[in-house]
Structure 1
């Protein structure tokens, strides 16, 4: 298991708990952006693979998530979360000036990462989007039809074909197991519209990975958003039979190998 260390960041609305998986002489810096309701501690396996590929890896429990401050899963404006990700990147670059930076986001984190690249893409080496919430996402309209969104628990079996993944998720006390907050759903809708309007990522090398059997963030809705932002250097990998958390799927080694192969291709030199 990869060794990590923790520190805190001053976020837009309180203190954030960040984690670093260090590398003495990194070839690149990997900024991980986690999904809705979870926390960066669920990415130890991903970080270990990336440090093995020569990366120093950084992540943060987002506002209202994990052990960071804020009302649980309450995000009034995802632009604030993008700003917090940039603070983490600046911290990483201060520790390793001149080292290429790759941003990797999953699900909600994929949405945040895409918006991050639109706002702060200058100087980024690559972007990886895993099962990103982009384009059209059904739960937004469905849940906003209620004044108070109902509690519709995530079925852990939709995360991965590996039952141990769902069991660990269900038992994790740092994972949010309650209902969506209405302001968060409204912020999702606003951010998806903003991303689509902002358009192409230009020349930024981008890898999109997605499970073919993703029932939480279906492929068809995401593809609409991908078509709006894809740039000149775009790679797509769709994994047959895979569910939402492709980094935790039964073919996780294949998925991470695709990520590291992509990153190795686009690294300078």
Structure 2
């Protein structure tokens, strides 16, 4: 009989070898239900660092960057609600719910304050955590975060249309199902990297294999599509209120490093440049030749920049 616990155990058994490649240990924490995270280790006296993945992502989004930072930091990477190896288990997966998850994760699993790092939607969640709970965040690193669209920017038309359609209440699940029809897990992974990377050939084959394995394990997971759609809808709703969204970023007291791929097709580099204009206290670095996932496409460059800024 299907149970969420048995499903999670089967996935964990299958993913252990994949996680071992990256030097991480798979763990679970009880945070209003089981939440999966990967402990990437680090020096016992190192500052704690928490990595937050984006929409449709998982702990594997950090598998190349984390080992490069674990020389100085104690690193953990949770799977958000309904993502990776964290089963939905009837829990809502809005941006606010996942911000609450990160807050509870910091309090229950790590020593606070932490260096909080977020990519894409994870960047929005990390920014909201830093603004709402400043005592939990010592420094904030945003990697191609989901920022409000700015006038005259040039987002990728196809990606924008797909995300917009997913937000439609009655069509989202159908669009997700149609997007998977006739496509193998490997094709889905390759298409994602083609959209998110400037040069998908930079992604190591063993990471592609681990992502394929994860997709295949999640194929029969009830509630996974609903979790993705809830996240997408609230993400669009938050950034759709541009004035409020930009104003909220002013509430962040921690030092901020924003790293953005210049050729990001999902979040225009124009939004990062607008952040630099509106928030001169932030450090904003635009990385030429990179897209929406620079931590995967160029982990050495991103790690070097982060370690330099973090001091």
TM over 0.5: yes
Q: Give the TM-score of the pair, scaled to structure 1.
A: 0.80
Q: CA deviation at 1:84?
A: 0.9
Contact 1:8 1:17 in 2 (8 A): yes
Contact 1:75–1:187, Cα closer than 8 Å, also in 2: no
Aligned-pair CA distance for 1:122: 2.3
Q: 1:64 to 1:223 in 2, by over 3 A?
A: farther
Tell me by how many angstroms 1:200 deviates: 0.4
Task: Give the deviation of 1:76 after TM superposition.
Answer: 4.7
- TM-superposed CA distance for 1:231, in Å, is 6.2
Aligned to 1:41: 60
Tell whether 2:267 aligns with 1:206: no
Q: Equivalent residues in 2 for 1:1-269 (5 A)?
A: 3-12=23-32, 14-52=33-71, 54-70=72-88, 76-93=93-110, 96=111, 101-136=114-149, 138-139=160-161, 140-144=163-167, 147-149=170-172, 150-151=175-176, 154-160=191-197, 161-163=199-201, 165=203, 168-169=207-208, 172-175=212-215, 182-192=229-239, 193=241, 195-224=245-274, 230=279, 232=281, 234-249=282-297, 251-264=298-311
Q: 1:182 to 1:4 in 2, by over 3 A?
A: closer
| Structure 2, gaps ≥5 residues long | 1-20, 150-154, 180-187
CA distance in 2, matches of 1:11, 1:238: 36
Alignment partners' CA distance in 1, 2:116 and 2:24:
18
Contact 2:266–2:292 under 8 Å retained in 1? yes
**2:55 touches 2:232 (CA, 8 Å); kept in 1?**
no
Corresponding residue pairs, total: 254
Greater helix content: 2
**In the aligned structure 1, how far is the partner of 2:89 from the partner of 2:238?**
20
Q: 1:23 to 1:155 in 2, by over 3 A?
A: closer
1:231-255 C-alpha deviation (Å, 9 max, x unpaired) = 63x1111111211110122x43122
2:142/2:257 contact within 8 Å kept: yes
8 Å CA contact 2:82, 2:93 repeated in 1: no
Query: How far off is 1:169 after superposition?
Result: 4.1
Q: 8 Å contact 1:29–1:92 — kept in the other structure? A: no
Give, in angstroms, the shift of residue 174 of structure 1: 2.2
Q: 1:182 to 1:87 in 2, by over 3 A?
A: closer
TM-score, with length taken from structure 2: 0.70
Q: Which runs of 5+ in 1 are unaligned?
A: 265-269
The alignment yields a C-alpha RMSD, in angstroms, of 3.1
Distance (whole Å) between structure 2 residues aligned to residue 106 and residue 132 of structure 1: 5
